[in-house]
């Protein structure tokens, strides 16, 4: 698929081989050969479909449209490569568009800190607007932000910030690309953006509370420019089913699949999205032992599972589960959730087989994790915790053992790329050399 090969070759400086075996080269090769700067476009630590597609598409757009670029534009997926099989809907959509996982660059394969220390790094953030504390040293490398969350960073003259409360960051990328030169927005990129907006907005459903007129307008624009894009209902159902198919995952993999972490000086709270109904999840064999092992291994004080059961009728329901062996901590988290007013969650207790697990049905189905996170953040920073200013960060997860990928080569360790490795790779691409060729 020529569009997909162009997307990868142009966006990330990764290599793609055509059917004839010839390398597909990025544009403006002379600039990549002469310059040594790297411009990374990177999504958030959850690395969902929106973060991935936004990073790929925007890096591609910048590489195509930047006048006399000094840097190679590289999209980076903000997870270890070994975690990619857990992003099942992302892997599926990229594979369908002819984009192999081997062509992507993951966070554990590029030394951003080393590039920054060498003065070679520029960083564009998509689908988030603040770096976690673990990446605070990279803050002065940030040159642009594109996000659909509330703004949490100060605006500055040297860092353009585009923040709008739309359903998907891919909507903002689509708007940007649609205003660019003719031909830059191609069918392959349009297919990725179209599918991502549909998934993020729950197929443009007003009842889900995520879609905005700008999301609808972008989906319509993509369909008008590229007739024959997959039907909305079809691609949404396929991605939903793929995303929520956790039948082959262990409990630990389910908890890590869609994970965010809030921390303070002493307390660490994991927030996992779980895609089976609460009753089924609580009946998993060995669940209590698995929860204890998961929290102990990562140093989590407790866990909040936000249950979003998948059903083909597209009726959105939500449930919550709070786990902690520390009774005072669990009680404080539960009290914060029960007493929340912005928004009110309308929680009702449901039976739990263990005293260390509190379970709820959530009456306010429109209160997504994005809206619940500030409640939990405030609970960590509250007087009961005797702490100040909890900040969000994600502790890198261990290498997964994904039962869906038997003997997967992604489970093997991949050495990080130092600045020189990245530059050498980009230079080889520019020179038309395959990645394994002799120097």
Residues in contact with 412: Cβ distance below 8 Å, sequence separation at least 6, in sequence order: none
13, 103 contact by CB (below 8 A): no
pLDDT tens figures, 134-171: 899 999 999 999 999 888 887 877 899 999 999 999 99
Give me the chain's average pLDDT, please.
Answer: 82
- CA 202 → CA 48, 211, 315, distances in Å? 15, 8, 10
In this prediction, residue 313 carries a pLDDT of: 64
Q: How sure is the predictor about 9, in pLDDT bands with cuts at 50, 70 and 90?
A: low
In this prediction, residue 154 carries a pLDDT of: 78
pLDDT at 6 over 80: no
pLDDT at 395 over 50: no
SS (H, E, C) the chain: CHHHHHHHHHHHCCCCECCCCCECCCCCHHHHHHCCEEEEEECCCCCCHHHHHHHHHHHHHHHHHCCCCCEEEEEEECCCHHHHHHCHHHHHHHHHCCCCHHHCEEHHHCCHHHHHHCCCEEEEEECCCCCCHHHHHHHHHEEEEEECCCCCCCCECCECEEECCCCCHHHHHHHHHHCCCCCCCCHHHHHHHHHHHHHHCCCCCHHHCCCCHHHHHHHHHHHHHCCCCCCHHHHHHHHHHHHHCCCCCCHHHHHHHCEEEEECCCCEEEEEEECCCHHHHHCCCCHHHHHHHHHHHHCCCEEEEEECCCCCCCCCCEEEEEECCCHHHHHHHHHHHHHCCCCCCCEEEECCCCCCEEEEEECCCCCCHHHHHHHHHHHHHCCCCCCCCCEECCCCCCCCCCCCCCCCHHHCCCCCCCHHHHHHHHHHHHCCCCCCCCC
Q: How sure is the predictor about 215, in pLDDT bands with cuts at 50, 70 and 90?
A: very high
pLDDT at 236 over 90: yes
pLDDT at 324 over 50: yes
pLDDT tens figures, 69-97: 778 999 999 999 989 989 999 999 999 99
The average pLDDT across 178-205 equals 96
The average pLDDT across 218-243 equals 96
In this prediction, residue 127 carries a pLDDT of: 96
Residues in contact with 381: Cβ distance below 8 Å, sequence separation at least 6, in sequence order: 264, 387, 388, 389, 390
Top pLDDT among 419 and 63 is at 63
Please name which of 165, 233, 229, 176 lies closest in space to residue 371, comparing C-alpha atoms.
165
In this prediction, residue 309 carries a pLDDT of: 84
pTM: 0.66
Paired tokens of 356:
């260390």
The average pLDDT across 211-236 equals 97
Q: How sure is the predictor about 428, in pLDDT bands with cuts at 50, 70 and 90?
A: very low
Please name which of 86, 9, 3 lies closest in space to residue 48, comparing C-alpha atoms.
86
pLDDT at 370 over 90: no
Q: How far is CA 371 from the centre of its chain?
A: 17
Top pLDDT among 264 and 399 is at 264
Percent of the chain surpassing pLDDT 70: 78
In this prediction, residue 26 carries a pLDDT of: 33
In this prediction, residue 400 carries a pLDDT of: 34
Q: How far is CA 404 from the centre of its chain?
A: 20
pLDDT at 17 over 50: no
The average pLDDT across 363-370 equals 91
pLDDT tens figures, 325-355: 999 999 999 999 999 999 999 999 999 999 9
In this prediction, residue 383 carries a pLDDT of: 55
In this prediction, residue 413 carries a pLDDT of: 36
């Amino acid at each position: 698929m020529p569009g997909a090969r162009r997307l990868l070759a142009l966006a990330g400086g990764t290599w793609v081989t055509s059917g004839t075996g010839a390398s597909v080269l990025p544009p403006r090769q002379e600039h990549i050969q002469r310059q040594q700067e790297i411009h990374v476009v990177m999504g958030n630590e959850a690395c969902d479909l929106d973060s991935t597609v936004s990073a790929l598409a925007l890096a591609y757009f910048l590489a195509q449209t930047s006048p006399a670029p000094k840097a190679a534009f590289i999209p980076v997926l903000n997870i270890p490569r070994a975690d990619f099989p857990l992003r099942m809907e992302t892997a599926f959509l990229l594979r369908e568009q002819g984009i192999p996982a081997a062509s992507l660059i993951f966070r554990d394969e590029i030394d951003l800190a080393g590039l920054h220390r060498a003065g070679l790094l520029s960083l564009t953030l998509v689908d988030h607007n603040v770096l976690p504390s673990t990446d605070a040293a990279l803050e002065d490398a940030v040159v642009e932000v594109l996000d659909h969350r509330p703004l949490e960073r100060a605006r500055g003259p040297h860092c353009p910030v585009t923040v709008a409360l739309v359903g998907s960051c891919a909507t903002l990328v689509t708007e940007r690309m649609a205003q660019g030169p003719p031909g830059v927005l191609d069918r392959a990129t349009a297919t990725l953006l179209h599918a991502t907006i549909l998934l993020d907005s729950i197929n443009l459903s007003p009842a889900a509370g995520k879609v905005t007129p700008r999301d609808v307008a972008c989906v319509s624009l993509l369909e008008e420019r590229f007739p024959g894009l997959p039907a909305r209902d079809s691609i949404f159902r396929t991605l939903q089913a793929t995303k929520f198919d956790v039948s082959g995952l262990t409990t630990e993999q389910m908890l890590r699949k869609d994970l965010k972490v809030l921390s303070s000086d002493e307390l660490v709270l994991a927030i996992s999205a779980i895609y089976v109904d609460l009753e089924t999840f609580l009946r998993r064999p060995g669940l209590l032992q698995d929860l204890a092992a998961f929290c102990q291994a990562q140093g989590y004080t407790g866990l909040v599972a936000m249950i979003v059961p998948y059903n083909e009728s597209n009726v959105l329901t939500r449930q919550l589960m709070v786990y902690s062996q520390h009774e005072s901590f669990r009680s404080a988290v539960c009290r914060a959730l029960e007493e929340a007013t912005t928004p009110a969650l309308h929680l009702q207790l449901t039976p739990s087989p263990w005293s260390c697990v509190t379970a709820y049905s959530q009456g306010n189905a429109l209160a997504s994790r994005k809206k619940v996170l500030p409640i939990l953040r405030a609970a960590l920073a509250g007087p009961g915790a005797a702490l100040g200013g909890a900040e969000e960060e994600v502790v890198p997860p261990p290498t997964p053992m994904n039962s869906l990928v038997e003997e997967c080569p992604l489970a093997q360790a991949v050495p990080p790329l130092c600045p020189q490795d990245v530059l050498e790779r980009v230079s080889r691409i520019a020179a038309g050399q395959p990645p394994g060729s002799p120097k």
